[in-house]
Chain A
Amino acid sequence: MTADQWVTFIAAIAGGALRVGAPFLFVSLGECITEKSGRINLGLEGVLVLSAMASFGASYLSGSAWVGALAGAATGALLASLHGALCSLPRVNDVATGIALMLFGTGLAFYLGKPLIQPQAPQLPAIALGNWSDSAAVRSALQVNVLVPIGLLLALALTWAFANTRAGLLVRMAGDSANATRALGYSVSAIRIAATTAGGLVAGLGGASLTLFYPGSWNEGISSGQGLIAVALVIFARWSPLRCVGAALMFGGAGAIGPALQSIGIGWGYHLFNVVPYVLTLLILVATCRPGSVIAGSPGELSSRQ
């Protein structure tokens, strides 16, 4: 590779980290809120796909990408609240419900999204970070989704809120000890439903950044497990919103390797490079998990059988 190609390649990876990482960022923040309250929501994969479709549809119909992003967040909150409510029923397991909502959300999105495959919808504006370079390839690679700064602010706000606000402490208490929560007179179910719904709202923005920025169109292969990677990513980030940011960017970078190689004309092994994020997730889980021990920072009630 020539020097020029290297610059393009590295810019493509850095830009890709911000671009591909955006959905990871939002879904992992959403999952972080949910898991802090003591529940796992595997259904965020379904939330991501359904909200991606809803954002695109709303943007297409209203002509405003911001309306689309709001619609995505609202749809995500709605589907996640279904998860929260179902899991509050007796004998209903949160992991199984998550799988069910994953299938339901994707099915519903494919059903309602059929007429949206062809048209173009207004896109979210981009922030240009590549103006220092003369190379057009670098400039186009460093166009950053306007939702990314919002996500970064959100991560900071969540970190602060979990430590300093009443709501944040309540969520953490519900996640660490359901009995303590009951003893203080709060409803564990209500807190968890609220946290799951808030998680879906944030994850819905991830769906919006999929269809309204990158790749910027709706099709049935729009998400291939990003929602699930995000669940694994929260474990890796040890339930800290700030560490979620780093993890999401790293995964975005890993996911950008395939397209980055293609952008400099290397087409070999495209599908193999596309599985790098999944392999990376597995390797990170291998490195961080230990049998029979709980990871530091893990909410005490996580997926405990009631």
Chain B
Amino acid sequence: MRHNLANVLLPAAAIAAALLVFGVFVAFAGANPVEVWLLLFKGAFGDAYSWQNTLQRAAPLMLTALCVAIPARAGLVVIGGEGALVLGGLACAAMAQALPLPGNIAGTVVVCMAGAAAGALWIALAGALRQYRGINETISSLLLAYVAIGIFKHLVEGPLRDPASLNKPSTHSLQPGLLIGGIAGSDVHWGFVLGAVACLLAAVWLRWTPSGFSVRVVGGNLRAAQLVGLPASRLVLLACALGGAAAGLAGAVEVAAVHTSANASLVAGYGYAGILVAFIARHEPLAVIPVAILFGGFGAAGSLLQRRLGLPDASVLVLQGIAFVLILASEALRDVDWQAQWTRLVQPARPAPAVGPSQREREQLLESEQALS
């Protein structure tokens, strides 16, 4: 119970502290911190329009956070979600270009599956390099992300380019039937529901299924997993593939719901923000949903800060960076025994209370009782 409380309170305190530090930071740039905090809230959750913007950004964040959270449960630190996202978007656009797909929900499912498959393969590659070659997956996944972006640019500006896209090289736009629309006429597209469902499924899988449990055993104690005969390498690959599939799906959804074609706008840093979301959510898929909405909100508020106060658009990146550093630092407070600290603070002069009679005292007591009788 105390553990669960710390799991919620520590990140919440760290985010609050990050907002405070960010306020001091923008004060140096001449902005009024109170105004910045108000704008952050207004731009994120102030009205229906900002809520739509927030949820639209939360959709890919949830999926890229899963790309960090699921492998993390298997004991891996994968940070190359950006590469899986970019390739997922590319595969989605390429699939729509290569095959005469039906312009309905079935076609949309096919392009999304293509994106998920591309992402799954990419992150599984990082997992395989670790399991079979002993290469640090943190480094390899990030290097693979740069390779993915290179391949993406080469194909989008070369073989897959729509000749009509002059200033901004893009692939051919998806036919209207394949696009993912808004929910009930709003700007919030079904990708948000998809992301939330993916988080739910991941939580159920990790919590209630044998394979999900096995993945957690592998992540928790590899030696124990090997002793009970779990196929550790296969489970690690599975976790990586599922995480990669989530990030690839994020790319496909961004293409099918927001950009309508694969172009440079897809490389927007959602993969990196997803790392932060997963770490704050402590790699717990259910917690990813609210954290992704919060950081989607900060992203949405960024443009408002830029327009109203003239702060650079990177100010949101600074806020994210401060939050990440403080979240990690807050882990140091986890083992502090707050009750003992409080007692020491409130009653500094009082001597430590005796726990009970010591062995020696008990013997003396016994002797005196015997002497009396």
B77 with A96: CB separation less than 8 A: yes
A214 part of interface (Cβ distance < 8 Å)? no
Q: Which residue of chain B has its CB nearest to the CB of A107?
A: B317
Stretch of A58-66, A126-134, A290-298 on the interface side: A290-298
A95 with B135: CB separation less than 8 A: no
0/1 interface trace, chain A 268-303, chain B, CB 8 Å (1 if under): 011110110011011001100111110000000000
Interface size of B by Cβ–Cβ distance < 8 Å? 45
Main secondary structure of the interface of A (DSSP, over half): helix
Q: Which residue of chain A has its CB nearest to the CB of B276?
A: A103
Main secondary structure of the interface of B (DSSP, over half): helix
Q: Which residue of chain A has its CB nearest to the CB of B329?
A: A86
A95 with B77: CB separation less than 8 A: yes
Of A89, A93, A100, A111, the contact of B315 (CB 8 Å cutoff): A111
B328 with A86: CB separation less than 8 A: yes
B317 with A106: CB separation less than 8 A: yes
A225 part of interface (Cβ distance < 8 Å)? yes
B332 with A275: CB separation less than 8 A: no
0/1 interface trace, chain A 176-213, chain B, CB 8 Å (1 if under): 00000000000000000000000000000000000000
Alpha-carbon gap, A235 to B140, bound state (A): 13
Residues of B within 8 A of A291 (CB): 131-134
A110 with B317: CB separation less than 8 A: yes
In this complex, which of B139, B276, B312 has the most chain A Cβ atoms within 10 angstroms of its Cβ? B139
How many A-B contacts at CB < 8 Å in the complex?
Answer: 136
Give the size range of A's interface with the partner: 35 or more
B328 with A278: CB separation less than 8 A: no
Of A89, A95, A289, the contact of B329 (CB 8 Å cutoff): A89
B157 with A271: CB separation less than 8 A: yes
Residues of B within 8 A of A235 (CB): 136
Minimum Cβ distance to chain A for residue B236 (Å): 12
A90 part of interface (Cβ distance < 8 Å)? yes
Of B132, B146, B317, the contact of A275 (CB 8 Å cutoff): B146
Of A82, A108, A285, A286, the contact of B318 (CB 8 Å cutoff): A108
0/1 interface trace, chain B 323-334, chain A, CB 8 Å (1 if under): 011011101101
B324 with A104: CB separation less than 8 A: yes
Minimum Cβ distance to chain B for residue A179 (Å): 21
B328 with A271: CB separation less than 8 A: no
Of B143, B150, B328, the contact of A229 (CB 8 Å cutoff): B143
In this complex, which of B140, B150, B272 has the most chain A Cβ atoms within 10 angstroms of its Cβ? B150
A275 with B318: CB separation less than 8 A: no
B320 with A275: CB separation less than 8 A: no
B198 part of interface (Cβ distance < 8 Å)? no
A290 with B143: CB separation less than 8 A: no
Given A91-B332, A114-B312, A285-B135 contact (CB < 8 Å):
yes
Of B154, B312, B325, the contact of A272 (CB 8 Å cutoff): B154
A293 with B134: CB separation less than 8 A: yes
Alpha-carbon gap, A104 to B276, bound state (A): 11
A150 part of interface (Cβ distance < 8 Å)? no
Minimum Cβ distance to chain B for residue A208 (Å): 21
Minimum Cβ distance to chain A for residue B61 (Å): 14
Minimum Cβ distance to chain A for residue B127 (Å): 12
Residues of A within 8 A of B327 (CB): 100
In chain A, positions 2-40 with a C-beta closer than 8 Å to chain B are none
A101 with B150: CB separation less than 8 A: no
Q: List the 4 shortest-distance A-B pairs measured between CB atoms, nearest first.
A: A104-B321, A107-B317, A275-B150, A110-B314
Using CB atoms and an 8 Å cutoff, list the residues of chain A in contact with chain B: 42, 82, 86, 89-93, 95-97, 99-101, 103-108, 110-111, 114, 224-225, 228-229, 231-232, 235, 269-272, 274-275, 278-279, 281-282, 285-286, 289-293
Using CB atoms and an 8 Å cutoff, list the residues of chain B in contact with chain A: 77, 79, 129, 131-136, 138-140, 142-144, 146-147, 150-151, 153-154, 157, 272, 275-276, 279, 312, 314-322, 324-325, 327-329, 331-332, 334-335
Q: Known contacts A86-B325, A225-B142, A278-B143; can you find 11 more A-B pairs with CB under 8 A?
A: A95-B138, A103-B276, A103-B320, A107-B314, A107-B319, A107-B320, A235-B136, A270-B154, A281-B143, A291-B133, A293-B134
